[in-house]
Every structure is written in structure tokens, then in C-alpha cells.
Amino acid sequence: MSLTALIITDNPELFKFYEKAFRDDNIHAKHSFYNTQDVLSKLLSVQPNILLIEAAFGDRAAWMLNYLSELQLPQRPATFVCLEYRTPGWEQLFLRKGAMYVFEKSMSEMSIADCIMNLYSLYRNMDQQEKLFPELARLLRDCGFSPKHRGYSCIVECVQLLYQDSDVAHKSLTKKVYPYVARKQSTTPIRVEKNIRDAIRHAWEQENKRTLLQLLGLNDGQKPPSNGKLLSSICERLREILHEKQHMVSNTIR
């Protein structure tokens, strides 16, 4: 699969690091400065699959996202933002404006490129991209899960199935869910189960225990939640988040 990324940044030296990182993932990277004519020209000529907006401050990235939202593009790229300092307010704004994920510059360019590739692959395979994916990605990040771990993609695939088909939740994960994800990822159900369990343990051990418990409404305990408990809690929380967003939209229209 041949992919192209367009990186918007006023730092040419930083672009070189991103270009090398994306090249390692077999993605051809192009550069644009914060100039509307240059950005438009590159978007039309390159038609990138991936767009990365790199900015020191949120207001500059917001300005660029506002500009992009007004364009009628033949192909809308999967958009990511990387900030010097990420805050919940800016992140929520960028998600509403169509960004898939918001990174912080404390991550290396190589890690960001790897995460973008993983997230892009997941995004392309999801049936409810615009509705479900950004909120799911944000919830997992807040809980301490990272796209660079194998269990992340397994969790996303499981949640998609459980969210769309509530009847599956009443069936055994080992009989329905894990085999489904294993087929999509060309692996085994046992490996899917292990990858999810490893991802939960990693998030639990990275000082995210309290946040994970609070965000998912889990009872405090000495052990990490089971795979089934985590997946069902994520689905329940997602339904609450999307219901709240729909309620806000309805009130705004009124």
C-alpha cells in the first residue's frame, strides 16, 4: 500500500526528522509551511492520505483546521495534530474539527509516525469512522493505552464489534470476538487475548490506574480489570460520550 503524508510545519529541520520516520514506514512525506496557498496547492497536487499539523501552540493548529474545513477536496486526508503542550480543551476542539488524534511533542518523531500508521490502518478498517473512532482513540489515550502497543489495535477491533452488535456482549469472547479479530489481523485468538491483557497491564502500571478506573467507572481494586470487563466498560462509556455529544448538538440546533 503506497501512502503519502503532508506535514504542515514552519520548522524545516523538524520535517527532516518526520520525513525519515515516515520513510521507515514506507510513507512518502511532503512538506508545507503555514501558508494557505501553499497548503492548498500541496493538498490538490499530492492528495495525501495523511495530514500532520505540527504547531507549538493550539491556536495556530486551530486556524489551519478551520481553513481545511472550508475546502472542497477530492480526497480528505486522515488528520493528526502535534502540539508542544496538549491540553484537554484543545484536544476536544481538534476532535470536533475532524482530527483523529492529538500528539504531544514529548514523543519522538519515530514514535509519532508509528502511531499514525497504526491509527490510520485502524481508521480505514472501521465502519463508523467519523462517529466512533476519534472518541474511542481519545478515551484509550486518556486511560493510558498507546497505539504503539499490539494490544491497542486488538482493543479497537473488539470494541467496534461489541459496540455495533450488543448481542455479542452476551456471548463468550473466546467464541466470537477473539476469532473475529484474529481473522482481521491474521493472528490467533490466543494471541489477541494475550495482547489485550498485556496492554491492560501496561496501562495499569504506568500510573494510569486511577484515571483508568475513573474514566471507565470501574471499582477500585488491587488487580487490573479483566479483558471482558475492560471492553464492556469502554463500550458503555463510549455510548455515554456519544449520547452527550448528540444531546449537545440537539440543544444547539434548538
pLDDT of residue 131: 64
* Confidence bin at 207 (pLDDT 50/70/90): low
pLDDT of residue 6: 95
Q: pLDDT higher for 252 or 152? A: 152
CB 104 within 8 A of CB 83: yes
| Domain, as residue range, for 212 | 128-254
Grid coordinates given for 168: 455479542
CB 171 within 8 A of CB 137: no
Question: What HEC string does 151-209 produce?
Answer: HHHHHHHHHHHHHHCHHHHHCCHHHHHHHHHHHHHCCCHHHHHHHHHHHHHHHHHHHHH
Count of domains observed in the chain: 2
Q: What is the pLDDT of residues 67-76, one digit of tens each?
A: 988 888 887 8
The verdict on 116 and 214 lying in the same domain is: no
What mean pLDDT is predicted for residues 18-31?
Answer: 91
Q: Report the DSSP pairing between strands 101-104 and 78-83.
A: parallel
Q: pLDDT higher for 200 or 122? A: 200
Which of 70, 102, 125 is the endpoint of a domain?
125
Residues 6 or more apart in contact with residue 184 via CB below 8 angstroms: 125, 157
For residue 25, the domain's CATH number is: 3.40.50.2300
Which of 125, 157, 181 is the endpoint of a domain?
125
Q: What is the pLDDT of residues 63-108, one digit of tens each?
A: 999 998 888 888 788 899 999 888 878 887 887 787 888 998 888 9
**pTM tops 0.85:** no
Which of 103, 125, 147 is the endpoint of a domain?
125
For residue 156, the domain's CATH number is: 1.10.10.10
